[in-house]
Chains A and B, each alone.
Chain A
């Protein structure tokens, strides 16, 4: 269970451009829940993820995992049980390392980075098998530098790397936004498969309203640091694209977007 409790987040505090994004914001994500978050620009979606991951500080409130505060944990400490895939496909991999080296790094998460061999050749068959399951023909490119792969291929590998070792939370930060529609579909289907197979608690920010409706078991619509709509379970399953669009347009008009 992941919980944000009475969070206050202020940008540029004490200056003329001070902007209060969250005020007393609370959110609870149940164990194993797959939450899709939508909302316009500046509604606080990405800030929410950054607060969960410890990438940005907050002014007040608490972040809890299974009831225990992780507010004082550094970002890298939080990632021990979290995986994150970013919008930018190059953010999740090292462009100048080969795919094999990238996968080896991800495979070693949670273990010490000592003077043992960096690439364990005995694991290559396992990597190949995982890559084959992606269906993108990557299994023959283990010795290719990551940077020479396409955005979609890199994103698929980034997703694989983020979820390779046992973890509890998967944070998806508009991870299909930079991909072409067909590749985005592939990555989204892969994401869904991984979340189900590994029974992860997932928080996904997306600009694609259809993905938010089709995937996950809870939908949140954010507006100016508040939850404008929150549907889970049966309510989520019966929600239609039109309902979401109507709501989204209403908010946008209110905000003058």
Chain B
């Protein structure tokens, strides 16, 4: 039972990386980027190939992010420069990447037990050697996800980050600031897809396998995590508890959690829900059905039904 909880928590943390990406496109840019379903396995494919070739496992992280960024750039160019609608631009990238991913990986790949991953590599075992592999996975995922969260939070407070948040909120304002709104969207897509690919990368380290179809449903997963997290946080922010905390100077931050914090919580909660459904006896083949059903439930309960939640 505890093992199951730890592994679900780990999964929630790893998949939060993907949800960060979805948060940037869907929630900040107001851009439902279906390319996610292709970028996620892209990051995974590159990682699997590099690991099999014996490359240092830590180097696969920036490598996956770089190819993810390229995929985001592609979606962005198709949308911004060629003027294709956002939904279709993502579908084009997703479809194209399916073949690209198979070209990169050759076929479905397994990383054998003898190959080091980030969870078994030297610096981690030196630091956390006494811990079980499962414990190490939790600690490393927690560290990675929090690191990405903090970097993102810091970025959102920069001039560039502020402009990114502005473009989804009111693109016209960005134009009147004499900035090219298309370029800002492009930047957002690049960052988002780099994060999604990073998620795919860490998943390969965790499960030691790549399959061409592993991207199916990832956008839905990310959306669900974002919507659960943001809805809960809005609910919390309106509660008397949060309003009480706002008044206290030192505790102000607790009352106004960052969007990225909401996304991590949403991701963990969603993994817990899916795991609960599977533990209740649903066969693993039903996982995507459960994912979709839960997503529908979340949409209806949150009262969003798919319209944008701009949460800049």
Contact = CB atoms under 8 A, between A and B. Distances in A.
B312 A110 contact: no
A118 B177 contact: no
A116 B158 CA distance: 5
A119 B178 contact: no
Contacts of B181: 76
Nearest to A79: B178
A105 B177 contact: yes
B208 interface: no
A97 B176 CA distance: 16
Contact of A97 (B155, B158, B166, B178): B166
B234 to A, nearest CB: 12
A94 B312 contact: yes
B157 A97 contact: no
Interface string B166-190: 1001101111111111000000000
A113 B312 contact: no
Nearest to B166: A94
Interface in A92-150: 92-97, 101, 104-106, 108-110, 112-119
A83 interface: yes
A218 B57 CA distance: 71
B160 A113 contact: yes
A36 B175 CA distance: 24
Given A76-B175, A94-B169, A112 B310 contact: no
B158 A114 contact: yes
Contact of B159 (A83, A84, A96, A114): A114
A47 B158 CA distance: 36
Contact of B163 (A74, A80, A96, A105): A105
A93 B173 contact: yes
B177 A106 contact: yes
Interface residues of B, number: 25
B180 A117 contact: no
Interface centre among B159, B176, B179 (most CB of A within 10 A): B176
Contacts of A84: 176
A119 B159 CA distance: 7
Contact of A113 (B162, B169, B175): B162
Interface in B167-219: 169-170, 172-181
Contacts of B172: 86, 91
B288 interface: no
A153 to B, nearest CB: 16
Interface in B145-164: 155, 157-163
A118 B170 contact: no
B136 interface: no
Nearest to B309: A96
B165 interface: yes
A94 B159 contact: no
Interface in A215-256: none
A162 interface: yes
A131 B311 CA distance: 26
Contacts of A113: 159-160, 162-163, 179
A173 B170 CA distance: 17
Given A96-B169, A97-B166, A117-B158, A162 B312 contact: no
Interface of B: 155, 157-163, 165-166, 169-170, 172-181, 310-312
Given A113-B163, A114-B160, A162-B176, 16 more contacts: A76-B174, A76-B181, A79-B175, A93-B170, A94-B166, A95-B170, A96-B165, A96-B312, A105-B166, A109-B178, A115-B155, A115-B158, A115-B160, A116-B158, A116-B159, A118-B157
